[in-house]
Amino acid sequence: MNDGQGLEKIFAGARLRRLRRERGLTQAEAAEALGLSASYLNLLERNQRPVTARVLLALADAFDVDVRAFANESDRQLVADLQEAAADPVLSGIGLDRMELSEFADSQPRAAEAFARLFQAYRETTAATADLATRMSGPGAATGGPGAVLESVRDALDARQNHFPELEEAAEALVERIGLRTHRREQQLADYLQHTHGFTMRVLDEDIMAGARRRLDFHGRRLLLSEALSAGSRAFHMAVVLANLELGDLLDKLSAEPHLPAEEGRKLYRVGLANYFAGAVHMPYAPFLKTAEDTRYDIDRLQRRFEVSFEQICHRLTTLQRPGARGLPFFMIRVDSAGNVSKRFGGGIMPFARSGGGCPKWNLYDALHTPERLIAQTFELPDGTAMLSLARGQLSPAPAGHPPVVHAIALGCALEHAPKIVHADAVAGIKPAAVGITCRLCDREDCAQRAFPPLNRKLVLDSHMLRASPYSFNED
């Protein structure tokens, strides 16, 4: 193999150094494991030599690293966050461009993350101050506010690639211990809950539950579930309860690992971990990955095979990052009809807007109008990255007397993976749509659907000319 032929030069010194330190190795020890000299590794870590194909293969062999992710450019979500900060009026005069921000994110990722987090806290504190009279942002500006807490939890999940081997092993152990079978899952979990922990599962009508979907009654030793839940959802809630009953110490340990800014963040992270466990119980890793690959990631067949919802399938597909048995790298996002993001995973794959609306050209928003119909789309981001998106609207039950809740959910990945996904066949050969992250971070001109001018451009006002876009701006 010719290490340099057909490869772009990859300078990944910060990533190499971070990986070595995470493994607790000295340069000499890491160099020996990789079959390199310590002096050569030192040059790689200082970006004085590019990482070659041979080094990437050695990393995969010695440290079980996903070289696809390692060879990629800087974390795209982090770069998008830095771009948003650099475009703020406070910093825009400095003129930081994407290349400089990418170098910052790549060479000093922790410092770059700290800078982005500081900007997020500044932005939310500013918003909280402006909206103090109506309490729109709520209390907690000193800790970044509730929005910053939620973002910190999402970032912590992304940092783990939304994969937790400890929870996977615990879920597999429970499935084996019970002998869990998909078609009998609800009854088997109810029996286990009663025989092992002494809790009886009961389904009650919505009036008695008073809007609650799940309530654990320790005094009466009962797990109360709402009749609004489907059988699959009841089984999922039982698995969440079992996570809290049996894995409390593990959940506490995992939720203490990330440096979250507030106690609320740790509690929210812990809830996410319990839900992760429940998903792994319903869709055990090995059989789920095999079925996904055998069916070319056919979401409908996966739903039928594992008797779970579209959203649960999408979430599970973002977690398949087991070393030596990885699935395709997916991102997922869930929005409501107002464009508010209520769930997202995979910011390192697809950068998401931290504030403001998304791009109306993304089929994610079309899915709100056609619930339960899968819509495939290919699109290209302003930086030239091509993506595949699979979006579907989903109806969820609401309290009695209220209309169903509608969300749009999108599962996506880099377009290069499309041949491995059956739903991509419908859009093969179609030119990708020009989609942005959000108007304020998109500098495409003549977009008739633009709602705001880009933050890093100066408006050009000409009363004698009207373009397709409601805003004209200069090229600087």
For the segment 39-80, what is each residue's pLDDT rounded down to a tens digit? 999 888 877 888 888 888 888 888 877 766 666 545 667 777
Domain boundary among 55, 71, 87: 71
421 belongs to a structural domain: yes
H-type helices in 283-362, by residue range? Answer: 285-294, 299-306, 310-317
212 belongs to a structural domain: yes
Provide the token pair at 288. 């789920």
205 belongs to a structural domain: yes
Say which amino acid occupies 81.
D
H-type helices in 23-159, by residue range? Answer: 27-34, 38-45, 53-63, 67-71, 76-86, 98-107, 109-130, 145-159
pLDDT of residue 51: 84
Terminal CA-CA length for the chain: 43
CA distances 83 to 244, 354, 441, Å, are 40, 11, 8
Helices vs strands, H then E, count in the chain: 19, 11
Instruction: Answer whether residue 3 shows pLDDT above 70.
Output: no
Q: Of 92-96, 115-119, 332-336, where does the model show the most confidence? A: 332-336
pLDDT of residue 295: 98
Do residues 230 and 252 lie in contact, with contact meaning Cβ atoms separated by under 8 Å?
no
Tell me the Cα Rg of the chain: 24
Chain mean position to CA 248 = 24
213 belongs to a structural domain: yes
Q: Residue holding tokens 């709520």?
A: 138
> d(Cα 142, Cα 63) in Å, to the nearest integer?
40
Q: 132 Cβ partners below 8 Å, 6+ apart? A: none
Measured in degrees and rounded to the nearest 5, phi and psi for residue 425 equal: -60, -30
Of 4-8, 92-96, 103-107, 359-363, which range is least confident?
4-8
pLDDT of residue 68: 64
276 and 179, same domain (yes or no): yes
Provide the token pair at 256. 């203490």
247 belongs to a structural domain: yes
Mean pLDDT of 160-167: 92
Provide the token pair at 69. 């992710």
Provide the token pair at 41. 């590794």
65: CATH: 1.10.260.40
Mean pLDDT of 251-280: 92
Return the bridge partners of 332, or none: 345, 411
Mean pLDDT of 231-239: 94
Nearest to 188 by CA among 238, 258, 262, 127: 238
pLDDT of residue 1: 41
- pLDDT over 90 for what percent of the chain? 43
Residue 248: DSSP 8-state: H
Which helix (H) or strand (E) element contains residue 226? strand 222-226
More confident residue, 355 or 182: 182
Query: With 0-12 CB in 10 A as exposed, 13-18 as middle and 19+ as buried, what is 26?
Result: exposed
Provide the token pair at 226. 């709402």
341 and 278, same domain (yes or no): no
257 and 194, same domain (yes or no): yes
421 and 343, same domain (yes or no): yes
314 belongs to a structural domain: no
340 and 272, same domain (yes or no): no
Do residues 70 and 109 lie in contact, with contact meaning Cβ atoms separated by under 8 Å?
no
Provide the token pair at 108. 């000093």
Return the bridge partners of 394, or none: 407
253 belongs to a structural domain: yes
Instruction: Answer whether residue 119 shows pLDDT above 50.
Output: yes
pLDDT of residue 132: 44
Query: With 0-12 CB in 10 A as exposed, 13-18 as middle and 19+ as buried, what is 280?
Result: buried
Instruction: Answer whether residue 38 shows pLDDT above 50.
Output: yes
| Whether this model's pTM surpasses 0.75 | no
- Domain extent at residue 42: 13-71
Mean pLDDT of 466-474: 67
Count of structural domains within the chain: 3
Mean pLDDT of 343-352: 82
Total residues belonging to the chain: 476
pLDDT of residue 474: 63
Measured in degrees and rounded to the nearest 5, phi and psi for residue 220 equal: -90, 0
Domain boundary among 259, 282, 305: 282
337 and 246, same domain (yes or no): no
Instruction: Answer whether residue 341 shows pLDDT above 70.
Output: yes
Mean pLDDT score of the chain: 84
Of 102-106, 312-316, 320-324, 467-471, which range is least confident?
467-471
66 belongs to a structural domain: yes
